[in-house]
Structure 1
């Protein structure tokens, strides 16, 4: 009868410029799709070269090698009798485009360039690519000679077109186009395109999956039709983690869901759908039919191929499912863990070194590594040979078989509690207890000798002996003495990362993990080039509030009871002298604001684009029941003063897993100056004027009540 189609969409863990590995993963996905009887296969955005090539897109080599990979795909017997849709960069008339190349049986059917660029937040696509702006227009693309020799084609269609097979019509979007207010899928659906596909490279952020799923469901609910989403997964070579979530939706329902976090490099999702369900759904919507009768038609590329078979009456179709979301705590447990795994295996290092202070932040990083070990052990137990091979390469033992997360943690994680005379016994014990529970190799070097040696150099040169504030010193002396300790910890961490395995008779080196959270970075509550300076930071884009939720999750999920004491202890840097053996310094007292307040400031500053005056106006309403206008003014001024004074620290932040919409990472996500007029004269004067006006009105109201 010919009305049921089986289609496949993929989540691939591609790697920027890894053309050989990327080719093999693409071929594997096509092979799996065919085994599952699919007649169409969709892959992620720029899957041939990897999405994260950045300025390598400027290089002609990147396009050359992408076409070489395309040639291998065209020649492969794996790609016969299945429509393959792959992503790669293409140069057309000396203009570089981000494209989908769709081919079948050694013939390229269409090269479809991206029309809407992602150019905000983490993305700079307009730096490398030009959007195709000629709506509904197609022209000839002259193929490279190496491709001509394979396909027998000199030119192929290039532009805004759709494919018309014998049984249906298929159109494609590319990532950002789905999110645009005038998405191509709208007019495609009105013009009778029944299957719309999207090859995407969409990164993970906490709680983002809800937006993605709701958007695709609403897309097919309003206009009917089938929508396939493919996505990158894994660490493509930078701060982002692409989180998969391949899916298939039809007429407002999700019928197939891929994993969001997984150590499997190639995941193929298939669904079997009835085209008549699309046609009847659309035909009953009167407003849609009226709009469809007026739409400007797309150029159709005719394809002598059917996605369905004539004998499909007994072929079962995919039923609607309920999307299963991860909680934010689960996302923190899984996303950074998968990101660390990719970085570890691809960097060819032998593990991690973590300065473990006994506080929430470094303990959260330890839990992320433990979660990674849990995922690895689970994959090995499920006979994932690729993961087992990678593990053996990391520990440099061809016979190694991890028996538990603790066993693997012992091999790849070294924790280091660097004690000083200002460290408390409580934090020492908490760090030791957590290390024992997760199984890490734990070190406890003392740093006092190094601190005294550094200070003796200063004393010899200047004849001065700085003192802590508690001993009668000034604020400058107090801060300098704290910073010396913090920076020495960084030096010691890197020393042990390079040589601790050597000292144990083992090969390799370790990656140093940082543990500054997004709120501390925003406030600048860290010492430049201290132990927050590391190779990687898996929690650098996560708020303190979410980290505390993750710690509680780890207590429940992993039975890490050592975390209970860590949760109940006040956050402290432990850089000032103890009082009767107890910590007298706390983070929130030092910062002059709470972590909860910092999250609010961060979202207002970055997400809502609020400067000092706008932030003051918004917080007046948000905090009207807890603060006077003067108190709000003082808080806003204090935040912006400290933020601007410390903004220079953001230029040296350790590369961090991007997880939060208000990350202050200025590498590309938060592009702002690092030299400010920290007095904010004009802005603060505007706030003062409003406070005077509001307080004056308030005093008048009080007088009227007394009268």
Structure 2
């Protein structure tokens, strides 16, 4: 009958500039798609070179190697008899574009450049690419000689065009174009395009997946049609994690769903859909608008059919309900997959974590535990790539993990760094958690190192600083806290480099950080302390979400040691104990609670509030708990802390991006690091508003 088509979309764990690995994964995805009966295969954005090449896009090498890979794809017998849609950078008339290249049987059909660029948050596409802003315009693109030798073509269509097969019409969107108010699928649909494709590099954030799914469903609810969504997977060598979620939708329903978090480097999703369902849907809803569409698409015709004449026996995919992860599950899965990508590609033999027995470092430990659970499950599911990578990391070619706990003992070292200011409670909590997850645990006392450094200072100056509790000044007190924190960083790196050597094993360890997003925002950490690490899986996650995550770990992983960690007040343990008990707490030091910090962080970054507009919002949000004067004090205190400590963010450990209010410097959060910390004008506006509110307040 020629009405049902089988289409394939995929999630690939591509890696910037890994041209050989990227090629292998593309070919494997095409092979799987053909095995499953697909006649069209869609891949993620810039899959040939990797999305995160950044300033490497300026290099002619990146363009050259991309075309070399394209030539190998064109020549491969695997890519024959299926329309392949791949992503790569292309230079046209000396302008660099982010493009889709569609080819079939050693012929390039068309090149479609991206029209609407992602240029906010983590994205800087306009730094490297220009948008194709000529609606419905198509030009000739002169192919490089290496491609002409394979295809026999001198030029191919380049621009805003669609592909017309013998049985349907296919149009392209690219990533941000779906999110844009001028999404191309609207006009494409009104001009009769039946299949929309979206090649994406969309990163994970907590609670974001539903936005993506709703946009895809909405795109086909309004004007009908079939929508294929492909996405990058993995860390791609950067702070963000691309979380897959490949999908196929038709007329507002999802009919095929890929995994959001997975250790599979290649995942192919196929769906068989009925073109007549699109035509019936549009006949009722869209026909009056379609016939008046003023700008027809430029159609590139190809003598090829996606359907067959005997498809009456082919069942079509039915609507499914998308299964979303809870935020706690997302924290367990996303950073764990990101850590594994980083570890297996870094050439290191595992992780080392300074484990303090508090919520933050325990959360990092639980994410490593979750990673080990995922790895063991993947190996149990016969993922040969994961087993090969695990054996390479642990340095044993015959190793087979018996359990997540066994694997954790091979690749994860935790250390408790005690001082005279540490309590036995935190030491025991760290030990109990390490026992339950199976890490190799070390107890280290840093007092000798601290006293040695202070001895050097005393020998030079003739002075020995004291804590405030012992009669010292605030400056002495802060310096004594900082030296403990910095000694811990030095020891963490020393043990990361040599602890395996001391045990007669090869390799080194990556140091993991454990500063949460709220502490980074206020600068509540010592510059170059043990928050300084190689990577930090929780640097974009709030304290509130981390506590919920640990509760999830208690139930899901049976880590009962976390109950005592959650019950204890957060503390840095850098000041002397009082009667053997902790006297210093994080929230008292910061002058606000972690829940208050989360609200302030979202207002600062997402709502783009300065001091005065933040005060104006908070007097309503916190009116039941705080007076306008108290709100003003909180706001002014936060901005003083933020501006005084802003310089610390220039050296903060690269962190997994999980929150839209992340203060990640010079990437996601572009702000100066030298401020007038008095905020004279802004704070005066707040004070004037408080005074006016006091005058206008109703008399009791």
Instruction: List per-residue Cα deviations over 1:645-687 (Å, max 9, x = no partner).
Output: 0000000010000000000011310000000000001111111
Pairwise mapping of residues 36-55 of structure 1 onto structure 2 (< 5 A)? 36-55=36-55
On the 8 A contact 2:351/2:511 being kept in 1, the answer is yes
Which residue of structure 2 aligns with residue 239 of structure 1?
239
User: In the TM superposition, what is the alpha-carbon distance from 1:291 to its structure 2 partner?
Assistant: 4.9
Count residues in correspondence. Answer: 700
Partners of 1:283 and 1:689 lie apart in 2 by: 62
Partners of 1:555 and 1:293 lie apart in 2 by: 60
CA RMSD of aligned residues (A): 0.7
Partners of 1:597 and 1:564 lie apart in 2 by: 23
Partners of 1:667 and 1:207 lie apart in 2 by: 24
Which residue of structure 2 aligns with residue 590 of structure 1?
589
Pairwise mapping of residues 194-213 of structure 1 onto structure 2 (< 5 A)? 194-213=194-213
TM superposition score normalised by structure 1: 0.99
Instruction: List per-residue Cα deviations over 1:559-611 (Å, max 9, x = no partner).
Output: 00010100100000000000111100000000001000100110000000000
On the 8 A contact 2:192/2:290 being kept in 1, the answer is no
On the 8 A contact 2:17/2:49 being kept in 1, the answer is yes
Which residue of structure 2 aligns with residue 185 of structure 1?
185
Pairwise mapping of residues 401-480 of structure 1 onto structure 2 (< 5 A)? 401-480=400-479
Which residue of structure 2 aligns with residue 624 of structure 1?
623
Pairwise mapping of residues 203-602 of structure 1 onto structure 2 (< 5 A)? 203-285=203-285, 289-602=288-601
Partners of 1:290 and 1:231 lie apart in 2 by: 31
Between 1:460-469 and 1:17-26, the stretch displaced more is 460-469
Partners of 1:460 and 1:505 lie apart in 2 by: 39
On the 8 A contact 1:422/1:578 being kept in 2, the answer is yes
User: In the TM superposition, what is the alpha-carbon distance from 1:289 to its structure 2 partner?
Assistant: 2.5
On the 8 A contact 1:235/1:343 being kept in 2, the answer is yes
Partners of 2:294 and 2:198 lie apart in 1 by: 22
SS at match of 1:230: strand
Pairwise mapping of residues 76-115 of structure 1 onto structure 2 (< 5 A)? 76-115=76-115
Instruction: List per-residue Cα deviations over 1:358-398 (Å, max 9, x = no partner).
Output: 00000000000000000000011111111000000001100
Which residue of structure 1 aligns with residue 157 of structure 2?
157
On the 8 A contact 1:226/1:248 being kept in 2, the answer is yes
Partners of 2:221 and 2:139 lie apart in 1 by: 33
Partners of 1:88 and 1:220 lie apart in 2 by: 27
Partners of 2:24 and 2:464 lie apart in 1 by: 63
Partners of 1:567 and 1:627 lie apart in 2 by: 27
- Name stretches of at least 5 consecutive residues in structure 1 with no aligned partner: none
Which residue of structure 2 aligns with residue 70 of structure 1?
70
SS at match of 1:214: helix
On the 8 A contact 1:424/1:583 being kept in 2, the answer is yes
SS at match of 1:417: strand
User: In the TM superposition, what is the alpha-carbon distance from 1:328 to its structure 2 partner?
Assistant: 0.3
- Name stretches of at least 5 consecutive residues in structure 2 with no aligned partner: none
Partners of 1:402 and 1:560 lie apart in 2 by: 20
The alignment status of 1:697 with 2:696, answered yes or no, reads yes
Instruction: List per-residue Cα deviations over 1:188-222 (Å, max 9, x = no partner).
Output: 00000000000000000000001000111111111
The alignment status of 1:677 with 2:672, answered yes or no, reads no
Partners of 1:435 and 1:358 lie apart in 2 by: 10
SS at match of 1:185: helix
On the 8 A contact 1:108/1:156 being kept in 2, the answer is yes
Partners of 1:457 and 1:697 lie apart in 2 by: 60
User: In the TM superposition, what is the alpha-carbon distance from 1:294 to its structure 2 partner?
Assistant: 2.8
User: In the TM superposition, what is the alpha-carbon distance from 1:292 to its structure 2 partner?
Assistant: 4.4
On the 8 A contact 2:190/2:289 being kept in 1, the answer is no
Partners of 1:681 and 1:262 lie apart in 2 by: 50
Partners of 1:415 and 1:249 lie apart in 2 by: 46
Instruction: List per-residue Cα deviations over 1:208-242 (Å, max 9, x = no partner).
Output: 00100011111111110000000000010110100
User: In the TM superposition, what is the alpha-carbon distance from 1:293 to its structure 2 partner?
Assistant: 2.2
On the 8 A contact 1:255/1:321 being kept in 2, the answer is yes
On the 8 A contact 1:422/1:577 being kept in 2, the answer is yes
SS at match of 2:312: coil
Partners of 2:390 and 2:667 lie apart in 1 by: 32
Which residue of structure 1 aligns with residue 34 of structure 2?
34
On the 8 A contact 2:7/2:38 being kept in 1, the answer is yes
Partners of 2:281 and 2:180 lie apart in 1 by: 24
User: In the TM superposition, what is the alpha-carbon distance from 1:615 to its structure 2 partner?
Assistant: 0.2
TM superposition score normalised by structure 2: 1.00
Partners of 1:421 and 1:346 lie apart in 2 by: 39
Which residue of structure 2 aligns with residue 123 of structure 1?
123
On the 8 A contact 1:187/1:295 being kept in 2, the answer is no
Instruction: List per-residue Cα deviations over 1:122-176 (Å, max 9, x = no partner).
Output: 0000000000010000000000001001000000000000011000000001101
On the 8 A contact 1:355/1:415 being kept in 2, the answer is yes
The alignment status of 1:648 with 2:640, answered yes or no, reads no
On the 8 A contact 1:190/1:295 being kept in 2, the answer is no
User: In the TM superposition, what is the alpha-carbon distance from 1:474 to its structure 2 partner?
Assistant: 1.0
On the 8 A contact 1:282/1:289 being kept in 2, the answer is no
Instruction: List per-residue Cα deviations over 1:232-283 (Å, max 9, x = no partner).
Output: 0001011010000000110000000000000000000000000000000011
SS at match of 2:311: coil
Which residue of structure 1 aligns with residue 140 of structure 2?
140
On the 8 A contact 2:230/2:247 being kept in 1, the answer is yes
Partners of 1:493 and 1:625 lie apart in 2 by: 45
